[in-house]
Amino acid sequence: MWKLNYETAAELADKYKPCLVLFPEHSPSLTETETDFYPRSVELFLEQVRLGKGAKNWFKLVTDWHKKTITTIDEIKNVVKTDPTCGRGTFLDIPGIRAGDEKAARKAYLEILASGLMRYPVTAYARVISGDEPFLNPKPKPEALCVQYWFFYFYNDFWNDHEGDWEMVTILLSTAGPQEPIPVGIAYSGHYAGLRRPWTLVSKVQESHVVCYVAKGSHANYFSYRPEGYPAETQRAISLPFAAFKIRIPSSWTIKGRKAIDYVPPRSSDSFAFGCASAGVELLPQVQLLPSEQSLSNPTVADKWWWLFYRGLWGSPGVFKGGWSGPEGPREQGIRWWDPFYWAEKVCGADEVEMWPSVFVH
């Protein structure tokens, strides 16, 4: 009889880690528009940043800008552990990179990698969640199980440029049988929402690694290659600096006066890859298994994974707080973290297939 414990969770996380299809990270023969950032360990970011104050509103940001102090990773960790709000109202900022300065971000990124590439492997932070977790409310069906993979990118080089970027892949499995859990579906994050497909309709590598096409700059995830790209149609509430209200604008409309299109690289086996500059790079990330919520109550475990508790922004805040700021960390992303079953089945849209009925959510 299969049972969820640390060892079986680690086995699932390694078995089902997605195969990422990315634009090349760097190549002398490619231009900046043909390269992108890879998801690497959070240390690549945390070892470079300083802690800034004033992420609560635009006026606070301006008046507190001069108060930023350069901090070490240990000092940031101490703030998270001793501050009752775990750093809410602060942000992690990379010195020397202004908002929207993707060239400076790429230069800094490549210099960091050149100083020690092996220290920052391509990484997926995985967690395994069963349907009986205490924090799930309402409860999904008892056979529900999922494996989430969180990816951190150094910089979001899309129309809404900003430092830091968190994206995620969720694999839904069923424990209804006596043997190892059976995968039934997948959900990919992208632009505050996501897409989902049944397990049988997703391309795979080595039978168990779903193929995940990562969009240039935005790092939104898609199930297939499309030469014309994908329109980023999600809507987002925008807070204006001196307004007492929010407006909603579609992300396909931008202040740069052009459509926001997600372009993903082809695999060498894609029938539409002919004529492209090059096929994308296919990578199976190194997996780091995150502790369960229950384990995080252990002080020793919490100390090791302290950055999970950080409640500020992973990147400096923008004047327009609607996608132009660094993101919040995984545990601050609402139902993506706290109810992945509902997020996958009710928030994510069915991707180019017949509507996929709910499996676990009543």
202 vs 318, higher pLDDT: 202
Please check the confidence at residue 298 and state whether its pLDDT lies above 50: yes
Long-range contacts, stretch 110-116, CB < 8 angstroms, 24+ apart: 110/26, 112/44, 112/48, 113/25, 113/44
Find all residues with CB under 8 Å of 30, minimum gap 6, and list them. 24, 277, 278
pLDDT digits (tens, 9 = 90+) for 68-92: 555 788 888 988 889 888 988 889 9
Residue 244 confidence (pLDDT): 45
Task: Return mean pLDDT, the chain.
Answer: 83
> What is the share, in percent, of the chain residues with pLDDT greater than 90?
48
Please check the confidence at residue 236 and state whether its pLDDT lies above 60: no
Please check the confidence at residue 297 and state whether its pLDDT lies above 50: yes
Residue 233 confidence (pLDDT): 61
Please check the confidence at residue 95 and state whether its pLDDT lies above 90: no
> What is the share, in percent, of the chain residues with pLDDT greater than 70?
79
The number of beta carbons lying within 10 Å of the beta carbon of residue 143 is 17
User: What average pLDDT does the segment 267-272 reach?
Assistant: 78
Residue 309 confidence (pLDDT): 96
Please check the confidence at residue 258 and state whether its pLDDT lies above 70: no
* Domain ranges across the chain: 6-224+281-350
Please check the confidence at residue 64 and state whether its pLDDT lies above 60: no
Residue 273 confidence (pLDDT): 55
pLDDT digits (tens, 9 = 90+) for 112-139: 888 877 889 999 999 999 999 999 988 9
pLDDT digits (tens, 9 = 90+) for 10-50: 999 999 999 999 999 876 666 666 788 999 999 999 998 88
Residue 55 confidence (pLDDT): 47
Residue 308 confidence (pLDDT): 97
Least-confidence region, from 162-166, 185-189, 242-246, 276-280? 242-246
Residue 30 confidence (pLDDT): 63
For 205-240, letters b (16+ CB in 10 Å) and e give eeeebbbbbbbbbbbbbbbbbbeebbebebebeeee
Residue 237 confidence (pLDDT): 44
94 vs 55, higher pLDDT: 94
Please check the confidence at residue 211 and state whether its pLDDT lies above 90: yes
User: What average pLDDT does the segment 131-150 reach?
Assistant: 93
Residue 353 confidence (pLDDT): 66
Tokens of residue 22, six digits: 């990315």
SS3 per residue for the chain: CCCCCHHHHHHHHHHCCCEEEECCCCCCCCCHHHCCCCEECCHHHHCCCEEEECCCCHHHHHHHHHHCECCCHHHHHHHHHHCCCCCCCEEEECCCCCCCCHHHHHHHHHHHHHHHHHHCCEEEEEEEEECCCCCCCCCCCCCEEEEEEEEEEEEECCCCCEEEEEEEEEEEEECCCCCCCEEEEEEEEECCEEEEEEHHHCCEECCCEEEEEECCCCCCEECCCCCCCEECCCEEEEECCCCCCEEEEECCCCCCCCCCEECCCCCCCCCCCCCCCCCCEEECCEEEECCCCCHHHCHHHHHHCHHHHCCCECCCCCCCCCCCCCCECHHHCCHHHHCHHHHHHHHCEECCCCCCCCCCCC
User: What average pLDDT does the segment 97-101 reach?
Assistant: 71
